Structure 1
C-alpha cells in the first residue's frame, strides 16, 4: 500500500491545502457534476484548465500526479472511446458504419 498515492494527503503549504475542507468538498462536487454535463469540447477544456490550475496552485509535483494517475489511465482511455461514440453534439467528424464520431 506504500506505492498507492491516489487520494493520499500531502501536508504542503499551498493555498489549496489551507482551504476550508468544506469548500474543497463542495468544489470537488461541482467538478464531478460538471464532468457529466454534456458541454462539448469547450466545456471539457474549461474543466481541464480548472483542474490543471488547481494542481499548479497546490504545488504538487508532476511525478506525484503521474504516479497517482497511472492506475486510472486504462479506465480514462476506455471512457474516452465510449464518450467519442456516445456524445452527439457538434458536426460529424468520422463515420464508422453506423457509429458516428462528432466534433
Structure 2
C-alpha cells in the first residue's frame, strides 16, 4: 500500500452514514448544553442524555459488527491461507477487549 492510499476499514462503505449519525448525536449534545443553560427540568435533560447514550451504543454496535465482518474475517482468512494465526489471535483479542469495554459502559 502506498503512502497516498487509505486503508479500507470495515465501516468504509458506510462512512457517510456513520458521519451523519455522529453529526446528529453532536447536535443532541449541543441541545443538552442549551437545556442546561436554560435551566430545563432535570428529568427532561436526563431523558435527552439517555437518548444520546442509546445513539452512541448503536453506532458502537454497528462498528463492532463491521469490525468482526471485515477485519477479523480477513485475519481468519489470512491465518487459514498462511498457517500463521498470530494476526488472527491479535484481532480476536482486540475485538474481545472492545466488547468488554462496550459491556462495561
Q: If the TM-score is normalised by the length of the shorter chain, which range does it land in? A: 0.3 to 0.5
The structure with the greater share of residues assigned to strand is: 1
Structure with greater Cα Rg:
2
TM-score calculated relative to the size of structure 1? 0.33
